[in-house]
Amino acid sequence: MKPTLILALSGGPDSVYLLHKLLKQDRRPILAHLNHRLRGKDSNGDERFVRQLGKKYGLKVEVERHDVAAYAKRHKLSIETAARQLRYAFLEKIRQKYQASTPRKKAIILTAHTLDDNLETVIMNELRRSKNSRSKGANPFRGQIGMRKKCGFIQRPLLDICKKTILAHLRRQRLPYRTDASNYDLSYRRNWIRHVLIPRFTDKNPHLYKEFAAARKKALRTYEKHTQTAEDWLKKNGEHTPPKIPIAFSLAPFKKLSNDRQMFLLQHLYEKTYGSTVGLTTAQLEEVH
């Protein structure tokens, strides 16, 4: 039985490309759109565009509106962090809704993150680590991995595809999409990395994306090896209840592990319990540790 697909559709080029790729494969996703209410009429225009796509292709559309700026101020977060938290919470709510309606059928979330997005994420993580030397992280390999293609109920099928490839395809097929002017606002850290820092890197190293992709694959193999080690340890030392997720373990064998393995184990346990590590910070892991 094929899973129910929930596509996070902003209306931008990447998510529109993924939608058409799915339709070409005769897969009919539910379109999920969060109106961030950050750009006034433009935000509402994005929502209308997504609804029109749903109507055009006969797809279900789920929309939610949030005042991201107010949420960020209330919780003392950056706009980027607030938007990400609200977006993933919305997507998970939609996933649970359709999972509950067909309990025997798995529901998964698809996002349209690209190779470019992942390189930006890795650089952002490295900048944070260098700013806070104390923060080593639970997983030293994640700095080279960034996002993964599969993480719990979330899948990112475009992680190996460059933005240039996507834009070229949309131009050839004359497929319309929305452009977010805020993506060029350099006051946002990710935009500065995208439009200023990475071009400087690629000027010096034209093979940056190719080398990043190769380094990421190597780090992934290491990550998978450590994940299996954590699984083996939990099978041996964890106390299990249905659905076979360990809810406790003895401190004695845990203390025998190195600090890095202890932190990795805690992160792995969190991911097993909640389906992903989205929103989990190094500071939270250190507090638990």
pLDDT in tens, 139-167: 555 667 888 898 888 999 999 999 999 99
∠ CA(186), CA(189), CA(192), 5° rounding?
45
Calculate the average pLDDT of the chain.
89
For residue 241, is pLDDT > 70?
Answer: no
For residue 135, is pLDDT > 60?
Answer: no
* pLDDT value at residue 125: 79
pTM of the entire predicted model: 0.83
Instruction: Find, among 267, 278, 244, the residue nearest to 95 by Cα.
Output: 278
For residue 207, is pLDDT > 60?
Answer: yes
Pairing of strands 30-35, 61-65: parallel
- CA distance readout (Å), 95 to 30, 60, 101, 135, 140: 10, 13, 10, 33, 30
Amino acid (one-letter) located at 239? E
Rg (CA), the chain: 20
* pLDDT value at residue 243: 56
Report CA dihedral (93, 99, 101, 103) to the nearest 10 degrees: -150
∠ CA(37), CA(175), CA(25), 5° rounding?
100
* pLDDT value at residue 133: 45
